[in-house]
A and B are shown apart, each in its own frame.
Chain A
Amino acid sequence: MSEFDTTSGGRLAWLLSEGSRLRRDGNPTAAEPLLREAVTLAEQDSHDQPARIAGSLNALGLLCKDLARYDEASALYERALDLLQSVASGHAPDIATLYHNLAGIEHARRNYAAGEPLARKGLEMRRWIGRDDDAALAADLVALAAILDGQRKFDEAESLYLDALRILEASPNANAAEIGVALNDLGAQYVERGRFDRAEELLVRASDLKARRLGARHPDVAVSLNNLATLHERRGDTDRASALFGEALQIVESALGPNHPKTVDCRRNYERCLAVNSRM
């Protein structure tokens, strides 16, 4: 799809495609005007096509989540869900994805108990649909597992991660970034449970995969570096930990700004580790 298709539908498809690409590449500032225009255009010109409007609302919702504007993201997903549920049928996979995304907002807010039923509903729908969208099913499993981890329901979460990784590693539809998220989250769980050797292997794989797929300065890479730093800190290697915490902080601060929750968490980790180091 390119910008030279000047029909309204062509323009909308280009805005969504380019805005979503910029968002995935970790450039939310450039993505925002495109995705806002997409919503405006879809609402003006696609009254008879609720899926188009829902697609635009969802794309902007994903961006708002990345920017930690959780109330706005949640409202956009709810509007998309209402639209798709108001039409006869045929949108079950997208409705499952919207439940997944609403659960993601609660995960980001650390309201894990509120996110769990939404994530379970999305996963249940995906399984009921029964189509061969294995990458989407695996993404649902990982998303629910992360919410269970937040409630320290580690055994069920571990089983979901392992199922997801089996699916993703066998799927031609899966991309490296999705596998990277599953490896990161399972690695983080193993850090929490003190299984440091296995955690290190997973987190190194996660950060390498994400760096190859998304670029070394992408905020998703910083998440895995932060987790790897936590692992070294808990092993007592605070020199190595502080270097990795510092690298993660630089990446998220540059990509997301100084006040984003991920930046705040990474800074707190870095400063705590430096303080421990200075007392040694």
Chain B
Amino acid sequence: MEASRANEVVRIDLSPTQVQVVKAATGREAEALELTVQELEQRIAPKLASNSNETLLTD
């Protein structure tokens, strides 16, 4: 992913059936999903998460 595109927003219009599924499950009206390029990539092809090596000082 180009770094400069990571925060661009992509809009995905929902079909009438998808609108009904969202309404039934959440009670909310939604006509579309809006995700950043980074969020969308993580949904389509999630990459593995890494752990952190945090230093905790001891004597």
Contact = CB atoms under 8 A, between A and B. Distances in A.
Interface of A: 1-4, 13, 16, 20, 54-55, 58-59, 62, 65, 80, 93-94, 97-98, 100-101, 103-104, 107-108, 131-134, 136, 139-140, 142-143, 146-147, 149-150, 171-173, 178, 181, 184-185, 188-189, 191-192, 220, 223, 226-227, 230, 262, 265-266, 268-269, 272
Contacts of A268: 58
10 contacts: A2-B25, A58-B48, A101-B50, A104-B51, A132-B1, A136-B50, A181-B52, A220-B52, A226-B56, A265-B56
Given A132-B1, A173-B6, A220 B54 contact: yes
B12 interface: no
Given A101-B51, A173-B6, 14 more contacts: A4-B24, A97-B48, A101-B50, A131-B1, A139-B52, A146-B54, A172-B6, A172-B38, A178-B52, A181-B52, A181-B53, A184-B55, A189-B55, A266-B56
Contact of B49 (A58, A108, A185, A191): A58
Contacts of A272: 59
7 cross-chain pairs, A with B, having the tightest CB-CB distances, nearest first: A4-B25, A146-B53, A188-B55, A104-B51, A230-B57, A107-B53, A97-B48
A205 B2 CA distance: 29
A220 B56 CA distance: 10
Given A93-B47, A268-B58, A171 B3 contact: yes
Contacts of B56: 188, 223, 226-227, 262, 265-266
A275 B52 CA distance: 32
Given A132-B1, A132-B2, A172-B6, A223 B50 contact: no
Contacts of B52: 104, 139, 142-143, 178, 181, 220
A94 B26 contact: no
Q: Binding site of A, secondary structure by majority: helix, strand, loop or mixed? A: helix
A103 B52 CA distance: 10
Contacts of B4: 172
B44 to A, nearest CB: 11
B48 A192 contact: no
B56 to A, nearest CB: 5
A249 to B, nearest CB: 12
A269 B50 CA distance: 28
Nearest to B45: A51
